[in-house]
Copies of this chain bind each other. A is one copy, B any other.
């Protein structure tokens, strides 16, 4: 559950510096991160200054920068936290369900629920994540652990369903990443969603999920064979490499 925090944290540290040694160090780091997250939620990302975070946490500005290379890296904390919270929540809610569409819907709904409290500064987060040169981009190497966690969840969404055995192996292999892309689309929708309680995003999930399920279902039939084959190779050659899966050997 927490096994991914260690490597994730390493990437937040400036340069190639060694990991913290003491307990106190660990405490300080956690204190700064928690304070930052609290202030972000209270005032939003922009309105929260590094000076305010430091002051509120009772440390100096320089100290905050000792643990986090930049203000943006504080967001990585939120990112990791959410990824794990989402995976756990989705798993418990899916337990026992067999219908693929239902499982997928649960996984996506769960994300919207877990992310709800952060919607206020989601735009700032997204802005950072959208920078390809930033290690916070969902496509970056640094995000690989979090992305892997999420993809693994969708692997379970599929494999826990009664649809999995009916699919051909090659497609089943591609699907987890595709479903993760579906989540990315939902995230995009969510970020731009201005309706109260992101009601519209929830409807979007409700509507798009059965459709995704149907497309996957239909892909088994003969008529769709050629188009599915094309889609598969397009994804394999152009999408997967971009999101950190090596091309097949």
Using a CB–CB cutoff of 8 Å, the interface residues on chain A facing chain B are 123-124, 126-133, 137, 139, 189, 191-192, 200, 203-204, 207-208, 211, 214-215, 218, 223, 227, 230-231, 234, 237-238, 242
Beyond the given A130-B130, A207-B237, A214-B227, please list 6 additional residue pairs across the A-B interface where CB-CB is below 8 A.
Answer: A123-B132, A124-B131, A127-B131, A129-B130, A203-B238, A211-B230
Beta-carbon contact of A238 and B204 below 8 Å: yes
Name A211's closest neighbour in chain B (CB-CB).
B230
A234's partner among B133, B208, B223, B227 (CB-CB below 8 A) is B208
Beta-carbon contact of B207 and A231 below 8 Å: no
Tell me which residues across on chain B come within 8 A of A191, comparing CB atoms: 132
Cα A207 to Cα B223 in complex, Å, equals 21
Beta-carbon contact of A131 and B139 below 8 Å: no
Cα A133 to Cα B192 in complex, Å, equals 8
A123-B133, A189-B242 known; A231+B204 contact, CB < 8 A:
no
Q: List 19 A-B contacts (CB under 8 A).
A: A123-B133, A126-B130, A126-B131, A127-B127, A127-B130, A130-B130, A137-B192, A139-B192, A189-B238, A189-B242, A200-B238, A203-B238, A204-B238, A207-B234, A207-B237, A208-B234, A214-B227, A214-B230, A215-B227
Beta-carbon contact of A231 and B211 below 8 Å: yes
Tell me which residues across on chain B come within 8 A of A192, comparing CB atoms: 132, 137, 139, 242
A123-B131, A123-B133 known; A227+B231 contact, CB < 8 A:
no
Cα A237 to Cα B208 in complex, Å, equals 11
Name A126's closest neighbour in chain B (CB-CB).
B130
